[in-house]
Structure 1
């Protein structure tokens, strides 16, 4: 195993700052940016991050996870701090799922052209700021056979702890890119050979069940509440809506994406 640091009951060493300062959102955001890390929570998520080739910075585990994750720990020469679960929660300031945390080095950003190169189906997300919704979209897209996710500059971080947890590690396996120029994105997708489908409540729009997916499809969704901007609705090739019962005018964005992804899934053609 790597540099095992059993410090139960002792003061938190310097290299535990990535865990002890999680409660301060601004500090955590700054630290994760400066150090280039993200936090994975829970055994399954930690395993999936390591199996995806991501390199850990350090581990913070309750005693019962040391043996269970020993095969992962043996692969890396990094600190593994061991604390009781109640101590981990006191240090981090939140309820830790079963007492297992790991800080991983963030992978280098993937360029848009690389995500789109071999993709047939992508979800494009505009200004979605809720981390749990972003995580859910990654999980839904991966489960239903999509090849990638494209994020606008203001979207929530898919490598934020809650996003990763909700996605069940899908952020590690599903390629994604964050755009620099959101305004030019419709033209970029069109040039890459994608037909764009904007999810909207506005008229005129085509009911989802009447849409025949193109060979290369980009499903575009907007933020919680305002939805897509006028620019994206105008620039999309097709405007799509999910038919709903009377008095119900909308669904949660992650639920909408799940339904649309099912319709656009590979076997639908």
Structure 2
């Protein structure tokens, strides 16, 4: 069972995992150095622990203890009990969901492990916004996709904001990073997947037609700004577009993912 420790000093060194959560660069460095990530909110904390991630510690306001009593009973990690005002002072924002947990990261699986048995996967190139990455993982999980592969420069799916937006899907959806950006798509084609790039290219066909009748599909999505690189756009087996009304050329990448996943799941 968790050990409950009441803390009233915002400078207490035991709260180091939870400091300055709005400073993205600082957090990326700290979390990589210590091999940790944060889960925010009762539902997400519960899903992380139930998925088997080992807790380093918990940070909670008193009113959230009862709702997570069974989770706290399942671990020996300390639970730091603080006022909501102190939590805000330490983290840098109002923790309106009342509960945070610091958890141990796991080594990433290989691409081969993630793709084993998969028929529908998402492949992300240089999507750098944590909110978009979290939303994409949630879309993929909700619509029956089997795995997500991320190019080396994509945002971290275990960054707090991505975890929160994904509502814990990052803990159940198999994912990993691609070790080789340049030949990633040809390697997927060699593994039996038809790679379908979402793009505005002149030879793009409607998404329904691009995925119709395919067995193993890899939907390929590009960055929020310029979309896919020329290398990935040209390396894909097919190029697809979501038809838009006049005057609009595209959707936000997370919204486009939801549409493309829905169509692909019904193929």
**TM-score bracket relative to the smaller structure:** over 0.9
Aligned residues: 266
> Is the 8 Å Cα contact of residues 123 and 146 (structure 1) preserved in structure 2?
yes
Change (3 A) 1:255 1:23: closer
Which residue pairs with 2:92 in the alignment?
A: 93
The answer as to 2:130 corresponding to 1:131 is yes
Whole-angstrom distance in 1 between the partners of 2:256 and 2:19: 37
8 Å Cα contact 1:213-1:264 kept in structure 2:
no
- Partner Cα separation in structure 1 for residue 69 and residue 138 of structure 2: 27
Q: For residues 114 and 17 of structure 2, what CA distance do their matches in structure 1 show?
A: 30
Match of 2:257 in 1: 257
Q: Which runs of 5+ in 2 are unaligned?
A: none
Instruction: Work out whether residues 41 and 97 of structure 1, in 8 Å CA contact, stay in contact via their aligned partners in 2.
Output: no
Structure 1 unmatched ranges of 5 or more: none
Taking the aligned partners of 1:149 and 1:34, their CA distance within structure 2 comes to 24
Q: Distance in 2 between matches of 1:143 and 1:162?
A: 19
Q: Secondary structure at the match of 1:57?
A: strand
Q: Hey, what does 1:26 align to over in structure 2?
A: 25
- Match in the other structure for 1:241: 241
Query: For residues 256 and 23 of structure 1, what CA distance do their matches in structure 2 show?
Result: 28
What residue number does 1:46 align with? 45
Give the TM-score normalised by the residue count of structure 1. 0.96
Q: How far off its partner does 1:3 sit?
A: 2.0
Instruction: Give 1:169-188 correspondences, 5 Å limit.
Output: 169-188=168-187
Q: Once the 2 structures are TM-superposed, how far is the Cα of residue 79 of structure 1 from its aligned partner?
A: 1.1
The runs of at least 4 aligned residues of structure 1 exceeding 4 Å deviation read: none
1:85 Cα shift?
1.1
Shift of 1:213: 4.5
Structural mapping, 1:133-172, within 5 Å: 133-172=132-171
C-alpha displacement of 1:11: 4.8
Which residue of structure 1 lines up, in the alignment, with residue 82 of structure 2? 83
User: RMSD of the alignment, in Å?
Assistant: 1.2
